[in-house]
């Protein structure tokens, strides 16, 4: 009870973290009435909706009725302990995705391992620390809601696949909603993107985002084939990358900072999904303020063009495509960068539009853009005569990154 009083006192003196977004529901599964009271007080004071049950059996029924975004699960309870309750939740397809945070006074390593083996995503020890509870609940609630939103986008897109060609434009709009805005700046770094689909929906995709205060992540993606089926895979990969980003920001996994590990994870997901689709993908992590570039290339070609001053060169690295081979291995490459530079990344659809007779000549033309100072996206479009092209044999995508002197 002394811990409960301390926790409530901290709440009253204004040590709460960020308020919850509206309509976020938290299910509290705890046999101690004192602990339930404290958790309810802390969560509802921060804007969460709560429901309480006192055992594992009640948790299953309450989860179906209340549809929580996060479950706080005590470990030691009568009739059914938290581990078993969590296993049953994860066995139910409708409840399996709800994140479960275990609450326990146990500090043995075995208990922590059992919690994660049962399907839990996090672990909070008693006595409770209010800021820790709110931080972990907030992070996992945002992660879960983000995944629900992406699943809804994927559901909308999948519905478009079974509609007639007249309705394909709606699917195109759903996919393009997931693209980042053109011209986004992160401190001294600025991204621009161009995506020209050969059909209503594209098998190409680009994304860029802040990983944390110091790092940016970005990728270009080209799924095999064309049209709706390939576009659907771009949504799935976008969802997986967003999930990895959310896990890092929640403090549970740092895969998003490791390009080779992320490509390996996506490779497993595509193969296990049985979609009979593979993709080429270049993913990189950049330190915003004058740092290095860490990247892995999953079969992407043509190689990116690095431009600095009047010099330019191809950023070469070879690894297998993503989703094609079970035993594919990916390698990180760390490349020192000048403080100011531009990076031009093209999908292979650009090569089809170049008039040069050989592949070597086409690559030389792309590399020459940097030496000529053509690094602005609009200037690249003009130099490659992309404006006014009515029919494309393949999707055409260009991603540009510029870091200026600070």
Residues 64-87: tens digit of each pLDDT: 999 999 999 998 888 888 899 999
Tokens of 89: 């939740």
CATH superfamily assigned to domain 163-403: PPM-type phosphatase domain (3.60.40.10)
- Taking only the tens place, the pLDDT of each residue in 378-400 is 999 999 888 877 678 888 999 99
What is the percentage of the chain residues whose pLDDT exceeds 90? 54
- CA 11 centroid distance within chain: 33
Instruction: Count other C-beta atoms under 10 Å from residue 189's C-beta.
Output: 19
Confidence of residue 1 (pLDDT cuts 50, 70, 90): very low
* pLDDT surpasses 50 at 3: no
Predicted local distance difference test score (pLDDT) of residue 248: 93
Helices (H), 108-161: 109-117, 130-161
Q: For the chain, what is the radius of gyration of the CA atoms?
A: 25
Mean pLDDT for all residues in the chain: 86
Predicted local distance difference test score (pLDDT) of residue 340: 92
Predicted local distance difference test score (pLDDT) of residue 15: 44
Query: Can you give the pTM of this predicted structure?
Result: 0.62
Confidence of residue 13 (pLDDT cuts 50, 70, 90): very low
* pLDDT surpasses 70 at 101: yes
Predicted local distance difference test score (pLDDT) of residue 226: 73
Confidence of residue 2 (pLDDT cuts 50, 70, 90): very low
Residue of 40 and 5 predicted with greater confidence: 40
Identical fold at 2-143 and 163-403? no
- CA 313 centroid distance within chain: 30
Task: Work out the end-to-end distance of the chain between its first and last CA atoms, rounded to an integer number of angstroms.
Answer: 54
The CA distance from 208 to 380, in Å, is: 19
What is the percentage of the chain residues whose pLDDT exceeds 70? 88
Predicted local distance difference test score (pLDDT) of residue 405: 82
Domain 2-143 bears CATH identifier 3.40.50.1010: no
Average pLDDT over residues 143-167: 74
């Amino acid at each position: 009870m002394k811990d409960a009083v301390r926790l409530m006192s901290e709440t009253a003196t204004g040590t709460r973290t960020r308020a919850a977004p509206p309509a976020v529901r938290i299910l509290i599964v705890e046999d101690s009435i004192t602990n339930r009271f404290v958790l309810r007080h802390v969560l509802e004071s921060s804007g969460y909706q709560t429901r309480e049950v006192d055992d594992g059996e009640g948790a299953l029924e309450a989860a179906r009725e209340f549809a929580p975004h996060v479950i706080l699960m005590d470990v030691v309870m009568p009739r059914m302990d938290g581990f078993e309750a969590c296993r049953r939740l994860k066995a139910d397809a409708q409840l399996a995705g709800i994140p479960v945070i275990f609450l326990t006074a146990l500090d043995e390593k075995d208990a922590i391992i059992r919690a994660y083996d049962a399907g839990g995503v996090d672990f909070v020890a008693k006595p409770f620390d209010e800021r820790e509870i709110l931080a972990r609940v907030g992070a996992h609630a945002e992660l879960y809601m983000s995944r629900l939103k992406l699943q809804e986008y994927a559901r909308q897109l999948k519905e478009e696949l079974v509609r007639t060609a007249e309705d394909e434009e709606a699917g195109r709009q759903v996919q393009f909603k997931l693209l980042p805005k053109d011209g986004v700046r992160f401190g001294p770094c600025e991204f621009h993107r161009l995506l020209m689909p050969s059909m209503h929906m594209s098998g190409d995709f680009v994304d860029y985002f802040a990983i944390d205060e110091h790092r940016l992540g970005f990728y270009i993606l080209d799924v095999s084939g064309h049209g709706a089926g390939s576009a659907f895979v771009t949504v799935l990969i976008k969802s997986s990358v967003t999930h990895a980003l959310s896990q890092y920001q929640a403090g549970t996994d740092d895969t998003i900072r490791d390009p080779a590990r992320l490509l390996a994870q996506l490779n497993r997901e595509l193969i296990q999904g049985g979609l009979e689709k593979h993709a080429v993908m270049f993913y990189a992590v950049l330190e915003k303020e004058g740092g290095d570039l860490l990247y892995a290339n999953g079969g992407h070609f043509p190689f990116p063009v690095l431009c600095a001053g009047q010099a330019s060169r191809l950023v070469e690295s070879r690894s297998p495509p993503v989703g094609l081979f079970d035993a594919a291995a990916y390698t990180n490459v760390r490349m020192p960068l000048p403080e100011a530079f531009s990076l031009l990344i093209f999908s292979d659809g650009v090569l089809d539009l170049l008039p040069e007779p050989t592949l070597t000549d086409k690559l030389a033309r792309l590399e020459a853009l940097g030496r000529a100072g053509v690094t602005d996206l609009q200037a690249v479009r003009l130099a490659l005569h992309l404006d006014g092209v009515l029919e494309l044999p393949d999707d055409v995508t260009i991603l540009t990154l510029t870091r200026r002197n600070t």
